[in-house]
Amino acid sequence: MSINTITLVGRAGRDPETRFFESGSVVSNLTLAVNRPSREEEEPDWFTLEIWGKQAQVAADYVRKGSLIGVVGRMTSERWTDRSTGELRSKPVVKVERLALLGSRADNLPTQPLASADAAQVPAAPDSAGGHPAAAGSAAVPPPPPPPAPSWNSTPLSEEEVPF
């Protein structure tokens, strides 16, 4: 019997790099820092993550550098030939099967650049006299709330299924 499962909880080392393919597939790649406690100080172990499908889109929309996430996946090894030296190279990669956003919702809000029309609705900073120059203009409209974060098990339990 063989088992290849890895479970990690850590912080994203960078924003995900996401690619969309003509076939409709989506892939996101990012690094994950997992602290390894030691006597002197905590040292991070770094993992390269590869996420496909709907979870890749979730990562692209909600995961940012420093976001706390949990992943379950399998360890693989990517192999390639270095173009400049011709040497065979390899690196470990975690192929993510499940992704969980563990930070607060505010930490995982999607980042969207302001369009020029939206920029007019952003209040300006107060002037030196304490007044607010945008007070006479239109009020800023808050963005709609984000969708709920995916969970490890989104199926609700009935009272009969609760073990206590």
pLDDT tens by residue, 85-128: 999 999 999 999 999 999 776 655 555 544 434 433 333 434 44
Judge: domain 6-108, CATH 3.40.50.1370.
Answer: no
Secondary structure element (H or E) that encloses residue 28, with its range: strand 26-36
For the chain, domain boundaries: 6-108
Q: Which two tokens stand for residue 37?
A: 């406690």
Asked if residue 44 lies in contact with residue 33, where contact means CB atoms within 8 angstroms, the answer is yes
pTM of the model: 0.61
